[in-house]
């Protein structure tokens, strides 16, 4: 035996509104739900990625500052999978090793060759700086990847919901005009079904807005962190390996 829905759900609830929405409204709701799934997956995935990146950044920078020479970590070839600071360091250290030794390859003779390597001039150090700056930009783009989906959800979902509402209200008034009964009882179901698309659009956009603002702030903080580390690392490279022209 199928029990009837409670009065609130049957007459005033969201199920009633969805039941009386037109085909276009249901299509808009479906699109918004798909967009919500994508935006939540981006938010969760990007939050986990940035959290791990900042943890690895702290671990890498601490290890770098505890090393004896700026190229110790490069010689060990230990990989940090998601650390932007490590990627910037690898780019700069690889370029520096190439200018010092003629090759960025690390082998069993690397330490011996480094001991006899001559300091580089300012032109070579400029190429190291450029490599690190490129790496900072690439890491910034990597961290910002897919955030455009959240920005699209924030700006597009309310308008898509509004489109469904306007379409539904238009159909509701057209139905009343064709029926010839201008009563609230005849108009209310169609208007209720039309408004649900706006509610759904806002339900998609509001979490995406908070998530986007939080994530973009985290990206900016991490970008500043790796820019500061790049400046520190470059200063160490220049102090240790730049030829003194004075």
Q: What whole-number distance in Å separates Cα of residue 74 and Cα of residue 79?
A: 9
The pLDDT tens digits of the residues spanning 45-80 come to: 999 999 999 999 999 999 999 988 899 899 888 778
Query: Which of 11-20, 78-87, 125-134 shows the lowest per-residue confidence on average (mean pLDDT)?
Result: 11-20
Residue in 11, 14, 10, 6 with CA at minimum distance from that of residue 199: 14
CA 170 centroid distance within chain: 38
Please state the rounded mean pLDDT for residues 214-218: 95
Distance, in Å, from the CA atom of 86 to the CA atom of 106, rounded to the nearest integer, reads: 17
CB 29 within 8 A of CB 18: yes
| Cα-trace Rg, the chain | 29
Place of tokens 């698309």: 197
pTM: 0.80
Angle between helices 84-101 and 184-241 (to 10 degrees): 30
Please say whether the beta carbons of 205 and 157 come within 8 A: yes
């Amino acid at each position: 035996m199928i029990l009837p829905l409670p009065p609130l759900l049957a007459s005033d609830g969201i199920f009633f509104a969805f039941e009386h929405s037109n085909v276009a409204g249901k299509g808009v709701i479906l699109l918004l739900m798909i967009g919500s799934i994508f935006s939540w997956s981006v938010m969760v995935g990007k939050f986990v990625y940035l959290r791990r990146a900042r943890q690895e950044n702290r671990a890498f920078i601490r290890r770098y500052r505890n090393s004896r020479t700026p190229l110790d970590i490069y010689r060990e070839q230990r990989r940090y999978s998601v650390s932007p600071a490590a990627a910037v360091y690898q780019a700069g250290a690889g370029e520096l090793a190439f200018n010092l030794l003629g090759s960025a390859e690390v082998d069993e003779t690397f330490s011996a060759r480094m001991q006899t390597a001559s300091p580089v001039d300012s032109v070579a150090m400029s190429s190291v700086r450029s490599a690190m700056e490129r790496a900072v930009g690439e890491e910034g783009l990597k961290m910002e990847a897919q955030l455009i989906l959240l920005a699209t959800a924030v700006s597009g979902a309310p308008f898509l919901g509004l489109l469904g509402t306007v379409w539904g209200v238009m159909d509701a008034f057209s139905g009343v005009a064709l029926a010839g009964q201008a009563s609230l009882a005849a108009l209310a179901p169609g208007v209720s079904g039309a408004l649900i698309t706006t509610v759904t659009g806002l339900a998609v956009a509001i979490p995406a807005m908070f998530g986007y603002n939080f994530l973009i702030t985290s990206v900016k903080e991490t970008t500043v962190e790796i820019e500061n580390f790049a400046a520190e690392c470059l200063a160490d490279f220049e102090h240790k390996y730049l030829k003194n022209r004075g």
